[in-house]
Amino acid sequence: MKIKLKSSLLAASTLLALAGCGGGDGGISGSGVTATGTMQLSITDAPSCGYDHVYLTVEKVRVHKSATAVDSDNGWSQIVLDPNDPNRRIDLLTLTNGVLNDLGQTPLPAGKYTQMRLVLAPNAGSSPFANAVKPTGGAEVALTTPSAQQSGIKLNVDMDVAADKVAEFVIDFDACKSIVNSGNSGKYILKPKVSVIPVLNSAGMRVVGYVDPSIATASTNVSVQVNGVPVKATVPVPYDPLVANAAAGRFELYPVPVGNYDLVVTAAGHVTAVMTGVPVVSSSITTVNSTTTRIVTPTATLRTVNGTVNPATTTVRALQLLTGGPKIEVAWGLVDDSATPATFSFSLPIEAPVKTAYSATPGLLNFVDDATAAGLYTLEASASGVIKTQVIDAKATVPAVTFTFP
């Protein structure tokens, strides 16, 4: 079910900054009247690694038809959130399994918008901070958000707003991949990884299924991927043996752009499970299994794979190529810069991943071991748009891997 946690807006007179959207773009020919549509925005999140809470406080969201427009240019439109609304401080980690937080809507000139700015409130001098993280087992600390309070987080978007229509978009914020723990400074820094997804039809654009209660934990990740690139991810509803919860193990990925995907389930201490050819349509929900055909994966022996990177802004992930395809992402991580050089570490299953094909009328799930792919991974490091790779075989001890970028 799609859930929206409403945020109040300021009075209409303060909502809109529509100064000179020049050239008659979106106007009605010969009338001198500018045609308008409505933009509606929500925000959601992918699962976060190592945090109990990730808080952001959104002041406003601005959009412009020019990808190169600066703050002082005319033509900005914006949604401003009520500073007295307590729901303005959003815990991103509550926004999984199809949950959205509604940021509001506003009229604006019809046309294509190519730039968005997500402007955050400044942090006060003491807790609770407007923007903060609470590491698992630790205390809440301020989140450093460079430029997010002044010009805002800049996003390149492709948003069509038609005249006399409501165009709905979801800001998909990947908290796990957006926070850098700068060990040397002790700071947590926001380096946002965000996408903006148009909602064609809220009746569809979602994938629903169930994992076994044994892997229904916060460390389990369920994602839909294309050629090893996760498009949307979530965690299953956790299982608590002390609480009767029929939804335990359920996962819902929403919104997912229309297309075909590989569903990937990774769970700590278990082999990776992959379901290929999962279709996503706008008109209906894609259900991959039921409570009686849950995804459960065998336990695995884990191999620790580590190494060093330079510079410390490098990100590293572990990919696996299954026999006959697909390529999938099994692990991803920011590096730890508390040492010099910075380090990374993964725990990867040695045993074979299991694979099955999607069926619109599934009976028992028929996952099959991919013995050829067992233990074989490609480490991929990325820095400033440059990618380097290293093939490893985790069935044996893997020497430390070094990635150095000029």
Cα–Cα distance for residue pair 352/334, rounded to 1 Å:
26
pLDDT at 170: 95
Domain boundaries, the chain: 3-198, 207-404
pLDDT at 236: 94
Please give the full DSSP string across 294-310, using - where no structure is assigned: -B---B--EEEEEEEEE
pLDDT at 114: 97
Contacts 24+ apart (CB under 8 A), 383-392: 383/309, 383/311, 383/313, 383/314, 383/315, 384/313, 392/305
Question: 20: left (phi > 0), else alpha (psi -120 to 50), else beta?
Answer: left
SS3 category, 12? helix
- 58 forms beta bridges with 120
Fold for 207-404, please state it: Immunoglobulin-like (2.60.40)
Closest to 254 measured CA to CA, from 5, 43, 40? 43
Cα–Cα distance for residue pair 130/113, rounded to 1 Å:
28
Are residues 143 and 181 in contact, defined by beta-carbon separation less than 8 angstroms? Answer: no
User: What are the φ and ψ backbone dihedral angles of 15, each rounded to 5 degrees?
Assistant: -75, -35
Question: Would you state the torsion angle of the CA atoms of residues 132, 136, 138, 140, taken in this order, to the nearest 10 degrees?
Answer: 10
Contacts of 338 (CB under 8 A, 6+ apart): 183, 184
Are residues 316 and 333 in contact, defined by beta-carbon separation less than 8 angstroms? Answer: yes
Instruction: Write out residues in the chain with pLDDT < 50, as ranges.
Output: 1-31
Distances (CA, A) of 208 to 124, 237, 386: 40, 12, 35
Cβ count near 257 (within 10 Å): 17
pLDDT at 149: 59
